[in-house]
A and B are shown apart, each in its own frame.
Chain A
Amino acid sequence: MVALTRRIEVTLETQLDSVDLGEQIALRVAGAAGFDEEEQHKIGMAVREGIINAYQYGNRQQRGKKIFLNFELAADRLIVEVLDQGTGFDLHQVPDPLAEENLLKTSGRGIFLIRCFMDELDVQRGPQGGARLIMTKRYPPHLRSNLSPGPHRETPRRSD
């Protein structure tokens, strides 16, 4: 049996407006997936922080680079990927913003907030380098059955 899913791919410019744009798209996708308003807000904010990370630390605000934002509506969860064209980073090396010595730092809370607002976060190396943030949010139980794959509403999963 072929696994079915729905996928949205967006390419963003490395510019400040992309942060708002990416968040707005995330809010629309989360709403369409059936998340309630509070969860939509959390997903939107997590995506916003992911794009800020790509814009500031990944692509270092270099206009020639791109930010790739992908949404995948799987059977039981929403998967969001934010890929930049920087040098990548190790999630385990990100300082803990809750540590006493970091509490008064003016930056470094974005990754922490993504972890708070999503169910899972992983950071991998992108195909051409760069950081690939993969964040997932499981649907509430009553939505998982409604969104189970069906040929009348799904498109085949990409194999690439």
Chain B
Amino acid sequence: MSFQATPRLADGVTVVEISGRIILGEGTARLRQLLRDLLADGHRHILLNLAEVSYIDSSGIGELVSGLAAVRSHGGELKLLHLNRRLRDLLQLTRLYTVFDVHTDEEAALHSFR
């Protein structure tokens, strides 16, 4: 399944429902453009719901790191919600699990931006 992203607003936070594959090529390019567009539109508190992400490779991980840096450089925060087991394992292997603020509950995630 190809990369898809649907943003919505919840309690002042931009929640982006992402599905499909975040891999070298279209997936990473579209994630990069999505975050650029959100930042350009003034969104600073961004929560990526990755529950429906079926696959991510090293390029996808790199894009998440790049997005985190980009949002922080605009004074905002990028957080992650609902990692599947394989993505969680990948972030733990790469020591990025502690770099990202990762949540398993949307309410708690939204509250953490306040």
Contacts and interface: CB of A to CB of B under 8 A. Distances in A.
A108 B73 CA distance: 22
Contacts, number: 48
A20 B55 CA distance: 12
Chain A interface mostly: helix
Nearest to A20: B23
B94 A98 contact: yes
A106 B24 contact: no
B65 A104 contact: yes
A109 interface: yes
B10 interface: no
Interface string A104-121: 111101101100100000
A84 interface: no
A47 B63 CA distance: 20
A41 interface: yes
B86 A41 contact: yes
B58 A110 contact: yes
Given A103-B95, A103-B99, A116-B93, A19 B24 contact: yes
B37 interface: no
A69 B62 CA distance: 25
A52 B24 contact: yes
B45 to A, nearest CB: 20
Interface string A49-76: 1001000100000000000000000000
A135 interface: no
Contacts of A126: none
B61 interface: yes
Given A98-B95, A116-B93, A106 B65 contact: yes
Contacts of B96: 103
B57 A97 contact: no
A41 B85 CA distance: 13
Closest 4 CB pairs of A and B: A106-B62, A109-B58, A106-B66, A110-B58
6 contacts: A19-B25, A106-B63, A109-B58, A109-B62, A113-B93, A116-B93
